Structure 1
Amino acid sequence: MSSGGRVYHQDYIARIRYSNALPPPPNPPKLLEIPNTGLASGQYTSAGFASRLAREQPLNVEADAELGMPIDLVGLPGVFEGDDSVLLASDEPVALHPHDRALLRPLSTLGKPSSLAGGVSFLRRTEYMTAAGGGGHSGLRDPGKRLAPKRKKQTDAEKNEPINILRSILKGFDIAYPQDAYKGPDTVQNLRGEEITPEERRAWDAPKHPLNPSLKLVDSYPILPDLDAVTETGGYIVAKFQTNPIANQGPTYDERVDAGLLRVLEPTAEQEEAYRVKVAEHEAEGDRAKGPPPQPDYDYEFFLPASHEAVRGLKRKFSTTDPERDDDALYDAEKTEATGRRCFRFDRVRCYETYQQAGNPHDPYDDTVAVALHDPETDESRLEKAAYYYPIVQRTFIRPKRKAQRGVSGVHQQDEEQENRVDVLEIEVRDPDERELADRQGFREKLEGEGEAEA
């Protein structure tokens, strides 16, 4: 008869030893002959044993008088002229080879394993080791996950390639305008944007402020150029006064400042010489030159309308939507003897000089741009709803010009300023001529061409 007692189950635990086939080290250790004096002598346990051993062993490097690093300054350009920039480290870091990254590990991590999932069997006996050195047996529990292809992550060098930069730019347009996204074959002539991740799509649909997540987006505007506001120079100049140009203005704002004029004076001999020196220094630096080419420093005469009533008429003259903009009654001054027509009168305030400049006329979008929001539903604008940008070719900071010092040069400069001084300006508003329209059309076609190329 079989026993009717309780049956106990006991699992059999079998210890499985895995092979430890490690490759030999790339650099074998150096074997030294050390006399065996035993631990009783205290030779091996002293703190200075390792230091003394390092001093006694000769180096395998031939050390010459220059310690293997010859310093020859003859071949370095600009060193003897006081230019030490060639001796300094470059601002752009050198691309590090992946094999050299291990050399930059801190001393505290030396001798410690960087990861426990390196495919070494003796680190974890209860873990199955895969051929790819994966983390444990999680792939056995989910076979579908093991078979899924992994997306290769781009390195920094691959991201900086021109074709990948173009794909990243196209991805931004595809996110903003998904209906216009290119879905055809990916060729050199017709590139496709990078794959849009769900996180990027959610960030576009529900944007969040990086510093204040509680803020909510109220409205958005597409960024467009204002083609109707293109000037003959391709951009605008911003002048900033160091002090208030109107003395004793009082608490109320003087709207005449909105219609003020700056008359450019002819440069003096000293200004022309200083400009030539700056240009020569910039050309001598060549590729090492930082910033755009220098611009000449001008002096200006500042003028204001003679009356406050003239400001309203002047603004109506420049308004393209005012039906009475061609009416001569908008002028504040009577007919002049020179032209026999009415005009606006501007009185001279004082002379100003340039003390700082910024900008690049060759690249008006390199320094600063002005942005204006237009919404036809709120301001009855002639433009469609968008944020229009206007290039700033130059930012000029001016201050009241000091009187010339006494002396031969000072008297000559003061006489020259008195000769070029203008006390009153008579301004008449007219439409642009053919040459000015041609210059504007050239810059406008350039903007339209850039827009078509981006599209």
Structure 2
Amino acid sequence: MSSSGPRSGERMVHQDFIARIRFSNALPPPPNPPKLLDIPNTGLASGQYTTPGFASRLAREQPLNIEADAELGMPLDLVGMPGVFDGDERSIQAPAQTPAVHPQDRALLRPIAALGKPKVAEANVSFLRRTEYISSSTPKRHEGGNPRALLAKARKPQRQAPEAAADSPQAIKRKIDRGFEIAQQDLKDPKRVKHPTKKHLKVVEAIPLLPDLHAFPDSGAYVTVKFQTNPVGKSSKYDARLLSGLLRPIERTAAEDAAYEAALEAHEHDPDNNPKPQNLMNYDFYLGQSSSVANNFRRKFDVDDPDHDGDELYTHQGESGGYFQFNRVRAYETSHETELDHPTKYEDEIILAYNDDDVYPKQKAMYYYPVMQKSTIRPQRTKNIARTIGISQEEEQIVDQLDITVEDPTEEMLDAMRKYQDHPLGWEQEAEEEPTQDQDVTIEADGEDAEAMGSEGAERRSPSEERDAEADGGGGVVNMEYLSNRHGEILDGSHRLLAGAGIYVIIERSSKQAKFQQNAQALGIPRASMSRPNAIVIAHANAKLQSQCPVV
């Protein structure tokens, strides 16, 4: 209890001072040792001196005055040990063989788990959780039946065959067969099929999911490209020209090649500290001048169109014949790229196309196509920044316009497509053939490539090429032969197809064959399709397939 003194003009208030006692209120130690203490015993009824706390407090508060001798209370007399002073220590060491326990001591050496009432071991289950599965696993007594039969069954337990591993061929085959059995049952009775989340949905029609082996390009797979931004201006309706856009790879400069080779050499020398550099490509994106150009361009590859082989579909005419004209939109660079190989091209992503007719060789089904490379592109920034600050010193040859002509594929491409039809997961490609002088597919452009082509290229120039060649600014026009397939199958020339967005890839073959091989191998082009230098080939997809695939 404490109180504060009165002050002038203040009322006196009584306050209780509460404080925790932080010291021991024990009595001083008695003058006699603990063994001479006379402790009154009131019996077991009170419980004052029979609780463990009394002994603990007594041992804590009473001082220990036991003096230990030099041997710490254990007499170490080795005189009676035989052979100790002769170097034989067997008498003071544990025997090599443990002696038998005396029968009277066995009860004292029992483990703690054996003490008390034995407990039946239970299966490991969740803590404090009892379900119908756990309750059903408890052993039940056999009621009724023949005792002899039960005894015979207990004597001869049935041996169960060991289950095969989940990844063994037997287990995989069994699961596949079981899947077909369930599918057959679902086809016979569609009411058995239930949606996992939307229970109100019902099966209307079931169609098979099949691979389209007749649609392999000569590279064996496809490439999907996704634009990070809209490649055309904002509009209230979809621009149909995007279904027939062209992507032309831009050749890297000497400085970029040197930097890539240096990074690749550093990775091969020390792969732990130097990551493998990505061989990313830059592209020029081209679109048709109008929607009519894009529509006629797509009709050229529609095998169901009776006029797809006619020259009247060309929107422009030149001295060498008709052609389609595409204008350059902008340059793009690859921001992210994922590349697979032939054995794994079906694992990451596939392209689906729905075919609703029964025309031979196809049937009504959902067809899937492999994707071996996924790329994400964005408007080119690196070179724009370098050009703005004045770092880029090399002159760039920008092709502002493309004149495209459609022709049939070569026998070499058809042979590669037939091989992938027989071997969808890849086949052993032969060594690269020597470059031939066959110029079925030609390219005319301003600069060194045009001079290398000679007079043959000059004779086949279109009027738009001549106008652009005479104009200032260095923007050349490329006249290319386009490859198609009369059977409506997907082609790929000497490079890769971008089927998802209706994009076609172009690879420019320079006079430097090694340089072209490096650029072509970066896109996964078979070595067998690199036989013609100084040419540009465009890849194209089946028009029906492109119209059914979503635009990315």
TM-score (norm 2): 0.46
Percent identical: 33
Shift of 1:301: 0.1
1:262 aligns with 2:262: no
The yes-or-no answer on 1:42 pairing with 2:21 is no
Q: What is the rounded CA distance, in whole Å, between the counterparts of 1:323 and 1:382 in structure 2? A: 19
1:353 to 325, 330, 333: 333
* Corresponding position of 1:61: none
Structure 2 counterpart of 1:137, from 136, 142, 145: 142
Q: Does 1:170 align with 2:177?
A: yes
In structure 2, the residue matched to 1:388 is 367
Counterpart AA for 2:336: Q
| Distance in structure 2 (CA, Å) of the matches to 1:161 and 1:231 | 34
**SS state at 2:217 partner:** coil
Q: Hey, what does 2:317 align to over in structure 1?
A: 334
Is the partner of 1:221 in helix, strand or coil?
coil
Q: Which has the larger radius of gyration?
A: 2
Q: 2:191, 2:426 → 1: CA distance?
A: 30
Q: Which residue of 216, 219, 227 corresponds with 1:230? A: 216
Higher relative helix content:
1
Shift of 1:260: 0.5
Residue 355 (structure 2) pairs with residue 374 (structure 1): yes
1:370–1:389 CA contact under 8 A, matched in 2: yes
Residue 270 of structure 1 deviates from its aligned partner by 3.0
What does 1:25-424 correspond to in 2, within 5 Å? 41-43=50-52, 113-114=121-122, 134-138=139-143, 140=145, 158-176=165-183, 206-247=192-233, 249-268=234-253, 269-270=255-256, 273-274=259-260, 277=263, 281=267, 296-336=279-319, 340-362=320-342, 363-376=344-357, 383-402=362-381, 403-405=384-386, 410-412=391-393, 415-416=394-395, 418-419=396-397, 421-424=398-401
TM-score w.r.t. the length of structure 1 is 0.55
Q: Partners of 2:176 and 2:380 in 1: how far apart?
A: 48
Q: What secondary structure, in the 3-state scheme, does the structure 2 residue paired with 1:158 have?
A: coil
What is the distance in 2 between the residues matched to 1:375 and 1:223?
Answer: 13
Q: Secondary structure at the match of 1:219?
A: coil
Residue 399 of structure 1: CA displacement? 0.6
Larger RCO, structure (CA 8 Å, separation 6 or more): 2
Cα distance, 1:307–1:275 mapped onto 2, change above 3 Å:
farther
Shift of 1:408: 9.4
Q: Cα distance 1:399–1:137, how it changes in 2: closer, same or farther (>3 A)?
A: same
Q: Deviations over 1:410-431 (max 9, x none)?
A: 323xx34x22x21111111111
Root-mean-square deviation over aligned CA pairs: 4.3
Question: 1:383, CA displacement in angstroms?
Answer: 2.5
Work out whether residues 359 and 367 of structure 1, in 8 Å CA contact, stay in contact via their aligned partners in 2: no
- Partners of 1:356 and 1:397 within 8 A in 2: yes
Q: Aligned partners of 1:263, 1:135: CA distance in 2, in Å? A: 76
Greater mean alpha carbon deviation, residues 262-271 or residues 396-405: 262-271
Report SS of the residue matched to 2:399.
coil
Distance 1:44 1:393, change over 3 A: farther
Query: Cα distance, 1:334 vs. partner?
Result: 1.2
* Alignment CA distance shift 1:172-1:152 (3 Å): farther
Report the Cα offset of residue 272 of structure 1.
6.5
Partner of 1:77: none
More strand by share: 2
The Cα shift of 1:354 comes to 0.4
Which consecutive unaligned segments of at least 5 residues does structure 2 have?
Answer: 1-43, 57-118, 125-137, 428-552
Query: Structure 1: which 5+ residue stretches go unaligned?
Result: 1-37, 48-110, 117-132, 179-199, 451-455
C-alpha distance 358-278 of structure 1, shift in aligned 2 (>3 A): farther
Relative to structure 1, the CA distance from residue 141 to residue 322 in structure 2 (aligned partners, 3 Å threshold; closer, same or farther) is: farther
How far does residue 231 in structure 1 lie from its aligned partner after superposition?
Answer: 0.6
Query: Taking structure 1 as reference, are residues 224 and 115 closer, same or farther at Cα in structure 2, changes over 3 Å only?
Result: closer
